[in-house]
Structure 1
């Protein structure tokens, strides 16, 4: 690891980010999940593609010298849709992160939930981690619900839900998450299996930046999953 103030790619151990200071941080969401393929709703090919997207995003950001030390970005890919959360030090950093991620091959959509401002501290990150675990527990308790189909991401009291579920179960998951103490907002980013499947496009993928209502649901149709 160099001493330059470049973004730091955290691959398998997210806890490493908690102790870092003086440089921008990039957290890659699913890079430690190789053993989870058998329990995942995605095909093996799609799962691997998502891991590759996350790694490419982390690599691109880690090599970008222009990002300030106050920038902290989390990258998650599910079925080739990329969710970006975290804090950018400036609007320029925010724009550069979007530009780099949009340039990654096979990305269908970039969901931009980055805010511009100070990075979250250790206390808030710890609360978010606990909140994720509590939401997971609520999903496990749901009757006739496959919790392995849902990815849970917590950021500053907001819970983001990604996965391949039908509409009814998507609503159940969001309602369960909203009951957890400390959750200020639930953002459902589910795709519904069996819906119309748009192709993966070769041009630069769109960026979806959604306002911040108290409760939100954004559902899209899954694209064909490469290389099962």
Structure 2
């Protein structure tokens, strides 16, 4: 495997790791080398993370129960705010999906980005997965971003960015996503926080211990 291929495998592995919401240090193997000490931080509370997972499962189940296989819908929850992406056959179905998801327990709001189109092909969905990986890899490479503060969803080349971020972080991430190969459009679904709020979220450095000379 040549170097570019090894690097692509490495950044994709990092991107997959980030998408799992890990909150501790873990080793990552890239091209035979072990990288340790990579800290992935999620800015949601642990309770919100669990609720988001439950919301996504319940939303998917209820969409399937109410609309069957005639729609292709992804429900992505971040801090109890649900993003709907994918394709539906009619405007009525688009509205119905939103109503069904809005009634799911703990959902605070719904962002409906569903389009009335034919269901995307396997090739299109595979391309979207690659685009998502490239965007996440770009966040990992950026020295001024906390990559795991973002959730990335791609549908038909449109990239949706979610997360609790400052305006500075939102703009920086948007610039990276827009310059990524395969991205046709970027839609921001951020919860904007202040720089002070961000500083309060970050781990504080341990105080220096004072040694006593004898």
TM-score, with structure 1 as normaliser: 0.66
Task: Classify 1:36/1:181 alpha carbon distance in 2 versus 1 (closer, same or farther; 3 Å).
Answer: same
1:36 aligns with 2:22: yes
Q: Is the 8 A contact 2:21 2:148 kept in 1?
A: no
Listed as ranges, the gaps of 5+ residues in structure 2 are 1-18, 25-39, 196-214
CA distance in 1, matches of 2:99, 2:193: 30
Kindly tell me: are residues 104 and 135 of structure 1, through their superposed partners in 2, closer, same or farther at Cα, counting changes over 3 Å? same
Any gaps of 5 or more consecutive residues in structure 1?
1-32, 196-228
Q: Which has the higher contact order (CA 8 A, sep 6+)?
A: 1
**Within the alignment, does 1:193 sit opposite 2:179 as a pair?**
no
Cα shift readout 1:148-183 (whole Å, capped 9, x = no counterpart): 100010100100000111110110000000001221
Q: State how 1:9-158 maps to structure 2 within 5 Å.
A: 36-38=22-24, 39=40, 40-64=42-66, 67=67, 69-158=69-158
The whole-number CA distance in structure 1 between the counterparts of 2:112 and 2:75 is 10
Shift of 1:58: 1.4
Task: Return the alpha-carbon distance in structure 2 between the equivalents of residues 166 and 144 of structure 1.
Answer: 12
**What is the CA deviation profile of residues 89-141 of structure 1, one whole-angstrom value per residue up to 9, with x for unaligned ones?**
22222121111011112211100000011010011111110000111111111
Q: Secondary structure at the match of 2:22?
A: helix
SS of 1:83's partner is strand
Q: State the distance in 2 between where 1:34 and 1:133 align.
A: 13
SS at match of 1:110: strand
1:164 corresponding residue in structure 2: 164
The residue number in structure 2 matching 1:28 is: none
CA–CA distance in 1 between the matches of 2:181 and 2:105?
A: 39
What is the distance in 1 between the residues matched to 2:45 and 2:177?
A: 26
Q: How far apart in 1 are the matches of 2:152 and 2:21?
A: 17
- C-alpha separation in 2, matches of 1:158 and 1:35: 22
More helix by share: 2
Q: Give the secondary structure class of the aligned counterpart of 1:107.
A: coil
| 1:36 partner SS | coil
Deviation at residue 188 of structure 1 after TM alignment: 1.3
Change (3 A) 1:56 1:140: same
TM superposition score normalised by structure 2:
0.71
Are 1:76 and 1:82, in contact at CA under 8 Å, matched by a contact in 2? yes
Q: Larger radius of gyration, structure 1 or 2? A: 2
Distance in structure 2 (CA, Å) of the matches to 1:91 and 1:100? 14
Return closer, same or farther for 1:101/1:112 CA change in 2, 3 Å cut-off.
same
Distance 2:133 2:45 in 1: 25
Q: CA deviation at 1:36?
A: 2.5
1:171-190 matches, within 5 Å, as 171-190=171-190
